Amino acid sequence: MSAVKSIVLALTAAAGATASSGSNAHARSDVLTVGVLGDYGWTGWEPASLNFCNNVMPRLIANGITIPRELQNDCDAGDRGNIANATAEQTTTASYIGKVCTMKNCSAIISVGDNFYSSAIDFTTEGVSRFEQAWSKMYDGGIFNNTRWYQTLGNHDIVKGQAGVDFQTKIAPLYDDRWYFGTEGLPYYTYDLTGKDWKATFAVVDSDCFINAYQKNTSVYQNDYTLSCHKDKQVQVDFVEQAFAKSDAQWKFLQIHHGYVSSSTNFTELAPFVEIVEKYNGIVVNGHDHCLAHYYSNNTNFILTGGSGYAEPGDCNNGVALGPFAKFLGANSQGAGNGFVTMDISKKSVNVEYYARDMSYEGGDLYPVKNQMKPIYSFVVATKN
């Protein structure tokens, strides 16, 4: 791919493209539009009771009883307290995403993880029910019916360990063929999107395997899966290097959950991936922080799109930029924008648009948006000819 440059400017929506299919999407049009979103899957989660979390669990721990990781995570006071608002925001935002993607004719959805809060799903009655409630029936009808979702794992998706990972990578694609996780049943894979005269290669990895804090025995994310994949993390680094080296695509994207650059937590353990992205003039799409943002660092654009479920202004530093790398933060002192990102990909440019819905409630407006059907921010990455 030729060198890229970042140009920040407002643009109108580009022309849509026909629906894509297969792991290699061949949409023969000049411009293909994809929706990019993450951190959304709250609906159907039933947190543990207050009595258990506040009274019973401490007694069990004091008596040497091991509490399952997923149960510990389901006692998280913050998540438990947010469940009602988070469910409402996911539902409303799902409808909003459908409207914007209908307007822009999205050909695919790219997910950056945290598909199921608070403690993932596995192949159980509860897991099957949550898969339908929080995803297959949530994103249904209209533009969603024939739109493939290219999935990624987030930290909440791996709490149940290998069983939870296997459900999302092996079972879910057979359950609903819109849910795509490669062809090998692995948590990392690559795919291409193509237009009439261009191609984009996406490399998907599981960043959970790289986070050092998840290796501690006090972490709810330490389990059989994270311990094992952390030992073999170089496999994923080599995978991305090979995928980009072999690709003749004009555009190369790293699709990942955690952020290397952030207004909340910078996961510097991801540096090996960022070095590869920089080497091939790529673009990073990620979630984890529950807001919308654009960062530019290491000669690379980082697209944060974690506001499709429960938006949290603190994750975007309440709209106050930290350093010159923060180009846009979708938050203010009252709240964060709930929404997603679209990318209009063509031979000469990738037009990135951030869409946020008006967060107006009785008694106040947490995040005012004048026109929800127009981007609140956009930038373009253009090739140099």
What is the Cα–Cα distance from 94 to 136, expressed in whole angstroms?
12
What is the Cα–Cα distance from 70 to 68, expressed in whole angstroms?
6
Which residues have C-beta within 8 Å of that of residue 162, sequence separation ≥ 6?
A: 223, 224, 225, 228
pLDDT of residue 362: 56
As to burial, measured by CB atoms within 10 angstroms (0-12 exposed, 13-18 middle, 19+ buried), residue 285 is buried
Following DSSP, what letter does each residue of 273-342 receive, concatenated?
HHHHHHHTT-EEEE-SSSSEEEEEETTEEEEEE--SSS--GGGGGGG---STTEEEE-B-SS-B-EEEEE
Q: Per this entry, what is the length of the chain?
A: 385
What is the Cα–Cα distance from 160 to 168, expressed in whole angstroms?
11
pLDDT of residue 360: 74
Which residues have C-beta within 8 Å of that of residue 50, sequence separation ≥ 6?
A: 80
pTM listed for this prediction: 0.92
Query: How many C-beta neighbours within 10 Å does residue 78 have?
Result: 9
pLDDT of residue 11: 28
The domain of 29 spans: 4-383
State yes or no: cis peptide before 118, omega within 30 of 0: yes
Tokens 């990972």 -> residue: 165
pLDDT of residue 315: 97
What domain count does the chain have? Answer: 1
Q: Which of 103, 69, 45 is nearest to 310 (CA)?
A: 45
DSSP 156: G
| Alpha-carbon distances, residue 201 vs 64, 217, 253, 274 (angstroms) | 49, 37, 6, 16
pLDDT of residue 334: 87
pLDDT of residue 12: 29
Q: How many helices, marked H, and strands, marked E, lie in the chain?
A: 10, 18
CATH of residue 253's domain is 3.60.21.10
What is the Cα–Cα distance from 341 to 142, expressed in whole angstroms?
19
As to burial, measured by CB atoms within 10 angstroms (0-12 exposed, 13-18 middle, 19+ buried), residue 163 is middle
Q: Report residues of the chain scoring pLDDT below 50.
A: 1-26, 385
